Amino acid sequence: MTIDRPQALARLLQLIEPLNRKGIPLREDTSFATDLEFDSLTVMDLVANMEDEWDINIPLNILPDLETIGDVADAIVKLKGES
């Protein structure tokens, strides 16, 4: 089952919000490392939540390329399209 990008982005924002301890406004260009200051444990929690939410496997080797919320939304749409 495919998912469109607006749906993926909206749900992704909901998954990120509880982890957004700094209360940073969440936008597509929000950076996980710079803006949100997520550590590796928080990133792995988010990855696990995304994998459960969309029934996908996110390869660890693509994580360094997923710098912003928009990057992750694109990856979710791509991975769902491949499943």
Domain boundaries, the chain: 5-21+29-82
Per-residue pLDDT of the chain (83 residues; tens, 9 = 90+): 678 999 999 999 999 999 999 999 999 999 999 999 999 999 999 999 999 999 999 999 999 999 999 999 999 999 999 76
Q: How many CB atoms lie under 10 A from the CB of residue 7? A: 14
pTM: 0.92
What's the helix, strand, coil split of the chain in %, to 5?
Answer: 60, 0, 35
May I ask the CATH architecture of the domain 5-21+29-82?
A: Orthogonal Bundle (1.10)
